[in-house]
Amino acid sequence: MINTKCKICRRAGEKLFLKEEKCYTPKCPLTRKSYPPGVQKRGAEKKPRRALSEYGSQLAEKQKLKFFYLLRERQFKNYVKEALKGKGSDIISRLAEILELRLDNVVYRLGFAKSRSIARQLVSHGHIMVNGKKTNIPSRRLKVGDIIAIRPQSASKKIFQDIDIYFKKYQPPVWLELNKEKKEGKVIGKPQAQDIEVKTNLNAIIEFYSR
């Protein structure tokens, strides 16, 4: 049975990397079934993707980004409304900054976890410290200068046992600095729209909530 997360990617028509390593293998359902989810008759032609209206396209972009960051509708809407307080291109940059600087996302982007869902669990279970203090709030907004680290008491846990091997080939985005030996990272800059890993039309999302 295909996991709900895999159906989300098939509906979006692209990989949102919600299933860790599986997304990079031939077992990825989107690789095997590039058509949208739904009942398929044996021998019938695969269901084509319908052309979307302007509203439908905006909705699809909004849903894609919301699922990518594992956010609830109200939470995502509030982020967009906050970004709308800016002006012109600042709105797009502000939205990217708000989404990327969530603690759970930064934990993932530093390579401490192989997916955002695992990163969220690590924070919720108290395995992560910010500026030397334990925190359990995945939505915490970080700022330039903040230091994020794995708690020393948690470093020996099974979930981190292969992290040194993973670190050998991992490089964080340019706005983050990673000390692989200390297993800690630092926010050294502000993320931009182009730093969002999934291809998305942020303007369409802004227009959707500006109606």
Question: Is 0.85 topped by the overall pTM?
Answer: no
Residue 211 confidence (pLDDT): 81
* CA 174 – CA 188 distance, rounded (Å): 8
Q: How far is CA 33 from CA 36, 157, 180, in A?
A: 8, 36, 38
Those residues with Cβ within 8 angstroms of residue 173's Cβ, 6 or more apart along the chain or in another chain: 109, 191, 195
The pLDDT tens digits for 141-168 are 999 999 999 999 999 999 999 999 999 9
Residue 1 confidence (pLDDT): 36
Selected from 1.10.260.40, 3.30.210.10, 3.10.290.10, 3.40.640.10, the CATH number assigned to the domain covering 102-187 reads: 3.10.290.10
* CA 27 – CA 31 distance, rounded (Å): 7
Least confident of 58-67, 81-90, 116-125: 81-90
Give the residue among 1, 26, 2, 28 at the shortest CA–CA distance from 14: 28
Q: Which CATH superfamily is domain 4-36+52-99+199-209 in?
A: Ribosomal protein S4/S9, N-terminal domain (1.10.1050.10)
Over range 57-70, report the average pLDDT.
95
Structure tokens at 18: 């919600």
Side chain identity, residue 157? K
Q: How far is CA 95 from CA 50, 70, 86, 161, 173, in A?
A: 29, 15, 10, 34, 17
Over range 91-99, report the average pLDDT.
95
DSSP string, 27-71: T-HHHH--SPSS---TTSPPPPPPPPPHHHHHHHHHHHHHHHTT-
Residue 51 confidence (pLDDT): 73
Residue 52 confidence (pLDDT): 77
Domain ranges of the chain: 4-36+52-99+199-209, 102-187
Residue 43 has pLDDT above 50, yes or no: no
Structure tokens at 57: 């396209």
